[in-house]
Structure formats: structure tokens, C-alpha cells
Amino acid sequence: MTQLQFRRNRRLRNSAALRSMVRETILQKEDFIYPLFIIEGENVKNEISSMPGIYQLSLDRLMEEVEEVVSLGIPSVILFGIPAEKDATGTGAYNDEGIVQRATRLIKEKHPELVVIADTCLCEYTDHGHCGVVHGSDVLNDPSLELLAKTAVSQAKAGADIIAPSNMMDGFVVAIRQALDEAGYENVPIMSYAVKYASAYYGPFRDAAESAPQFGDRKTYQMDPANRMEALREAESDVMEGADFLIVKPALSYLDIMRDVKNNVLLPVVAYNVSGEYSMVKAAAQNGWIDEKEIVLETLTSMKRAGADLIMTYHAKDAARWLEGK
């Protein structure tokens, strides 16, 4: 009988020590950015029913959450605001006394080392729930840029370390860059939601941020999930416009896009492990159908393997604990 020829790939998996020596992707708590939802009012800690473990917090309840994030060694948070009142042009977004501006000042005062990222969009502040200025059934591009730029400057003035525009208007990066520079914030980086698909995975977030569009959908500004080349065009535009980080969103169904973007740009790439991805895992875990810890760590590792340098995730606190062996 002839000798079978094959490679013994299992040799490198023979012990935990060996496996850890050849591991190619290492997940660490320093990779995480934790989203926070801040709402007007007093003593509010509302759990989002579709996102177990995630809360809308009033300013007086915010710090307990922030302390926990800091004590777990998570380096950064991203802030979303729910204002008391909404109007046609999202005034609350660029008010220096707006909810995110006050939250930013509060956090930076107590924890100057925590990196505060401000999500820059209008949908949480507009009564129609769209991410820009609306005329009839259209979401107008250029008039929205001016309001976004004002929002970014107001957030930087409040002490935000990074501006993260998420509204998918064309030219938002250069408009914000120019406004920040003119206001003296040339050292504040822009983390652009460069590649953002029109996704059903944002459903639970819209409960949390109370930001569902009141008519139509976001398909004229967010991307078609079927498209891949378009992601590279979006990424390229934001690089040219001066972005410092690029976000790919959602993450799990778009890992191919993450890799494409990583291979084509020289900027740090951020995965946004969005609300619907979190809710699905939580629901299955609560039913006892999956091992939550193993599923979450595997999922987050896959995002890094696909090219993400950082991950925005609602699992951040749990994952940080699990990585510490707690």
C-alpha cells in the first residue's frame, strides 16, 4: 500500500499553551467602545426592553455606569442623547446645554482619561426622526451639513475627544473638519460612520434612542446591503475628506466589507456591533439556547479577525469581565 501524504495540522492545536502561541487574533478590553444612552429627567434608569442590560440613563444616574466602565478598563464610550423636545431641525443636537453636551462635561470632569466619543447626528433630535433636514419627503443633503457641523463644534466645545458623524450625508466629513478647524479644534479627530448600511439590525437602537423615522426609511442616504464596491467608494470619500477612523456598520453580516475596507485604507477601522446583533444573542441566551459568553467572545474575535481595530459593542462590559476571567 502506498504511503498517504498529508500535513498534520493538528500538531499546533495539541495543548492550550501551543494554541495560545499560534493564536493570530487577540481580543482585549482596550478594543472596546461602550455606547451610552442619556435622557433628560431625574433618577431615570430605563432598561430597553429589546436590549436587556442596556439603559436610558439620566445625568444623575450616568456616573454610576461610567464608574463601572472605567473600573473594567474599557477606554472609551460613545454618547447618544434623547432630548426632552424634538423639532423639525433638531435644535437639541447643537444646543450647548443639550443632553450630550452636559453629559460630556460631566464625564470629562470626573474622568478626564476616559475617551468620550460624541455621535453626531440629528435623528434623535428631529420630530420626523430623519438624520437631516427634511423637505416634503426628501432628506436634503447640503442644508443638513451646516447643522451637523454646528453639532460637532458644540460637542467639541463641551469636551468630546472624538466626533463620530453618523448621518450619511455626502460631504459630512469635510464640512465637520472645516468647522472644527475654524473653531480651533484641529486636534479633535473624526471617526466617520463611513460605511453604514440601511439595516434592519438598527431596530432595537431606535427604541433606545427614540429615533425611528416617522415616515419612509433611510434608504436614500444609508447604503444598500447588496453592495460591496459602493463601500469602497464611501470609504475612499471619507479618507479624502480627512476622516481619522472609519466605521463599518453593522458588523456581523458585513465582515467581508470590513476586510475589504481594512485592505484598502490606512486608517484604523471600527466595527459597530449594532443593537440587533446584541438583541439576537441576548434573546437566545435568555432562552438557554446558546452559551452567551462563548458566543460573544467568538463573535467579537471574528470582527477583529475581519480587520476591525476597535469594536463598538453593547457587550463591552460583559466581554471585559470575561476576558479578565471573571
* 205 contact, one of Zn ion, ligand PBG, none, CB 5-8 Å limit per kind: ligand PBG
* 202 contact, one of ligand PBG, Zn ion, none, CB 5-8 Å limit per kind: ligand PBG
Give the interface size with Zn ion as a residue count (CB under 5 A). Answer: 4
* CA angle in degrees (0–180, nearest 5) for 205-208-209: 85
Pick the catalytic residue: 86, 150, 196, 304? 196
**What DSSP designation does 4 have?**
P
Cell of 262: 481594512
Closer CB to ligand PBG, 34 or 322, in the complex: 34
Residue nearest to ligand PBG (CB): 205
Distances (CA, A) of 326 to 75, 318, 323: 18, 9, 7
Sole window of 2-10, 126-134, 247-255, 278-286 interacting with Zn ion (rule: CB under 5 A): 126-134
Instruction: Pick the binder of Zn ion from 48, 121, 133, 231 (CB under 5 A).
Output: 121
Summarize as ranges the residues that interact with ligand PBG (CB under 6 A).
119, 121, 123, 131, 166-167, 202, 205-206, 218, 274-275
* 279 contact, one of Zn ion, ligand PBG, none, CB 5-8 Å limit per kind: none
Pick the catalytic residue: 86, 150, 249, 304? 249
Length of the chain: 326
- Write down the least CB distance from residue 92 to ligand PBG, Å: 14
The three-state secondary structure class of 96 is coil
249 assigned to active site: yes
- The sign of the CA dihedral 288, 300, 58, 166 is negative
Q: Which residues are CB-neighbours of 251 under 8 A, at least 6 positions away? A: 258, 271, 272, 273, 274, 277, 303, 308, 311
Closer CB to ligand PBG, 102 or 218, in the complex: 218
Cell of 209: 434612542
183 burial type by CB count under 10 A (0-12 exposed, 13-18 middle, 19+ buried): middle
Active site members: 196, 249
Q: Which residues bind Zn ion (CB under 5 A)?
A: 121, 123, 131, 167
